């Protein structure tokens, strides 16, 4: 049965950081989709440490080498953690989306949040980037998919930034419900 390919352009939150790939939410979700004979699968092009600039530099080759129906962008966290200017993050995301749309690829953009220690002003400007980009480029904005586990220390790795293996099935369920509602 033919199915849609969702290409996931993400960072460590989607790249099974700190665990085996088979423990990560993307792998778990694909297993579930397979067993349910769902109409889509996720191809993971996530890299730990990836920034929006890195995603922008890779997107042309990725779109050229893969049949992609939907692009799911989960980038920006590393930009925020490095204090990159929100304008730069916004411009990179807009360019990625523009390149995908030029290939008739539907785009979903995930909200991203960073720890509060960057101060309320930067955090607000950072979070506004995703809202503005989605509105300006007319793409669907998904909620930050790790929100449910991010405040529970038992679900997070020691760094407090990356969800642990116990959290991954929850993240798979979160993402599945968001994807099912938007594709």
Q: What angle do CA 105, 110, 116 make, to 5 degrees?
A: 155
Q: Which residues are catalytic?
A: 12, 159, 162
41, 61 contact by CB (below 8 A)? no
Separation CA 101–CA 60 (nearest Å): 12
In terms of Cβ atoms closer than 10 Å to its own Cβ (0-12, 13-18, 19+), residue 163 is buried
Q: What angle do CA 133, 15, 48 make, to 5 degrees?
A: 75
- Hey, how many other C-beta atoms are within 10 angstroms of the C-beta on 129? 25
Number of helices and strands (H, E) in the chain? 7, 5
Separation CA 119–CA 38 (nearest Å): 42
Give me 67's structure tokens.
């049949």
């Amino acid at each position: 049965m033919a199915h849609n390919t969702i290409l996931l352009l993400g960072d460590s939150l989607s790249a099974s950081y700190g665990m085996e790939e088979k423990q990560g939410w993307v792998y778990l979700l694909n297993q579930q989709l397979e067993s349910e004979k769902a109409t889509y699968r996720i191809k993971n092009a996530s890299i730990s440490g990836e920034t929006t600039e890195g995603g922008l530099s890779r997107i042309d080759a990725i779109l050229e080498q893969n049949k992609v129906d939907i692009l799911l962008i989960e980038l920006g966290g590393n930009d925020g953690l490095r204090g990159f200017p929100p304008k730069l993050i916004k411009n990179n995301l807009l360019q990625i989306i523009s390149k995908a749309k030029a290939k008739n690829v539907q785009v979903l953009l995930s909200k991203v949040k960073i720890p509060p220690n960057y101060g309320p002003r930067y955090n607000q400007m950072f979070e506004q980037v995703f809202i503005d980009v989605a509105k300006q480029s007319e793409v669907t904005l998904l909620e930050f998919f790790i929100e449910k586990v991010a405040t529970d220390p038992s679900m997070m790795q020691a760094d407090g930034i990356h969800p642990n293996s116990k959290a991954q099935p929850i993240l798979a369920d979160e993402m599945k419900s968001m994807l099912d509602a938007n594709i």
